[in-house]
Structure 1
Amino acid sequence: MIRVCAFILALAGGAVQAQTLNFPSNASLQAEVVRAADSYILPLGIWDRGEMPTRTVEGRVTQQAWRIEAASLTTLQLVRPLREQLRNDRYRIIFECQTEACGGFDFRFGVETLPPPEMRINIGDFRFLAAERTGADGSEYLTLFTSRTTQAGFVQITHVGPMVADPEPVAQAGAAPLRAFDAAPDATLAEQLEHVGRAVLADLSFATGSAQLAEGEYASLQALADYLSSAPQRTVALVGHTDSAGALATNIALSKRRAASVRERLITDYGVDRGQLEAEGMGYLAPIASNLTEEGREANRRVEVIVTSIQE
C-alpha cells in the first residue's frame, strides 16, 4: 500500500545516519512503498524490438516518489545533482537514457513505477538512471526515474539493498532549493546545451506537410556542428515535433522524418560525425505552447536537439 507522506526529518539526538540522496528543500516526499524482502526487475538497457535487458535483484526494496516545486525545470536539472551525489557516494552508473533514446512509450511502461498523482511521468520528457555499489553488507542498486510537468519536477527512487535490521534512510530534503535555469534570450546554442541540456533549432524551414529540410544555410546547424566538433564525446538526439492537427501515428512519422532530414544535412553539409547524432520523432506529444492558436501551433512545429551522452 502506498503511504502518502508529508516528509518531516526528525532527529532526536545521537549521530545522524548517512543519507544516500539529499533533495532540495523545495522537494516533498509524496509516496513511499517498502518491501522488507522482495525482488526488483532492474532495467539495464533501452527497449528495442520488443525487448529490454534487465537483471533481477533481491533485497529490501524501497520506492519513493518526490515532487520538486519549481516550474520550468528540465529533467537534466533534476537529475544532474542527484547523479553527482550517487557518484560521490561510491555508486557506479550502469545505465542512463532519455525519452525516445530509452525506447519512449514502451520503455516507460516497461519499468515499475508508482502511480499518479504521487508520481507523474511525461512520456515526452523523462530520464532514467540505474546505479550500483558494493558496501559492507553487500550489493545495493538504485534507480532514478525523472520527469516533469509545467508546474513541478518528479523523481522516483527505487532502492534495493541488504535486508538489515536498521537500514539507512534513502533520502532527505535539506539541500538548497532547486530553481529553473532559464537561458537568457541571447544565450548561445552551446550554452543552452551545456546548462539546460536542450535547445530548439528555431531557424529551420520545412514546406507545409513536407519532411524535407529546405535548402539554405542555417545558423543553428552551424552552431550545433561547431559544438559537436569541440566535444567529440558528446552525442545528441534530434527530436521532431508537430502541432496537434492530424492523427498521432502520422505526426510521429512526419516528425521523425524531419529530424532525420536535419541529421543528414548536418552530416553531408556540416561534417558532423554520424555517430554523434540520433533522429527521433514525438509528433504532438510534447507541446511547448497551446495548439488552440496559430502562434502556438507554429511554435510546436519544431526540431529540438537534446544532449544524450552521459559523459561529463
Structure 2
Amino acid sequence: MTRRAVLAGRWLMPALAGLLCAALPSLATAQGINLPAGARQLAERATALGSYAVPLGPASDDGVPARQVEGQILRRSWRISGDATVLQVLAPLRAQLIENGFELLYQCPARSCGGFDFRFDIEVIPAPDMTVDIGNYSFVSAEHPDGRIVSLLVSRSGNATFVQVIEVTPEGVSPPIITDGSSPVDGSSDAALATALPLIGAAELITGLRRNGRAVLADLEFETGAVTLGAKPYDSLAALAEFLIQNPDFDVLLVGHTDTVGSLEQNIAISERRADAVRRRLLADSAVDPGRVSVAGAGFMAPLTTNLTPEGREANRRVEAVLIRR
C-alpha cells in the first residue's frame, strides 16, 4: 500500500467527521455579549484598521443599503449544538446589546431581510466557519454612542445554530476584551502560539488550523467537472505554506470535495485530482518539502451545505487542509 493510501485511510474519515478539534469553551464572551454555554468558536479574524459596510436595510434591486465605518474590525463565528431556534439564540444577544447602551440600526428575519439577496450581499465568514440557511436566519446591526458597531448574524443549519459577530471599534475607543477558552491544536499556550503563528495571509485559514486541525482553502475556485486551478495567486496557499514552514512537526493532507453532479466514482476521481492540483501549486510556489503534503478524494460524501442550489454546489466544491502530526 502506498504512503498516500495509508495516510488517506488513517486520516480522511477523522477529517470528514470533524474529530480533529480543539477543547471546547464553556462560555464565549464577546464585547457586551455572553454567548450560550457550549458555544464553540470556529473563526476569529482581526483587522487593525479597516472598513466595514454595516447593513441598514433589506436587499433591493440596488443591493443592501449600508454605511461604511472604519476602525479595528473583529470577525468571529461560533457553533452552538442543540435544538435552540434562531430567535432563542438571537433574542438574548440583542437584549444584552441594548442593556450595554447599543441602539439598534436594523434587524430582520430571513424573508424580511431579502433572503438569498441579502445573505450574498453582506459580509459573511466563509463556510464551514459560518453556515447560513437562506430561509432560516436573522440579522441585527447596532451602534453605541461611542461609535462602536456590532452586527449579529444567526442561522440554524442541520443540528446546530451558527452565530457571526462583527465588531468595529473606532480609533481612540478601548478595544473589546475577548475571553476564549479553546486550545490550539498542538496543546501549546495561546501566547506562545500567537508568537509562532501570526495571522498571515488568509487569517481565517490559520485560525481554522489552530483551533480545529483543519480548514477549507476557501479562495480556490473549481467549476463542475474542472480539476485545474486558475493562474492567479491564492492567499490560502501562501498562508498554508507559511504555516507548514513555521511548524515542522506537522504534515498536511489535502482532501478534495465535489458537488453531486455525476456518479460517486467520477466525483471521487475528480476530487482527488483537484486535491493533487492544489498540492502541485502549493509545492511550485513554496519551499515546502513534497513529502509533507499528501492528497485524498472524498467526492460528494461530505457536503458543507445543500446540493440543491447552485450556491450550495459551489460551496461544496472545495479542498480542505487537514493537519497530521509527524
TM-score by length of 2: 0.46
TM-score by length of 1: 0.48
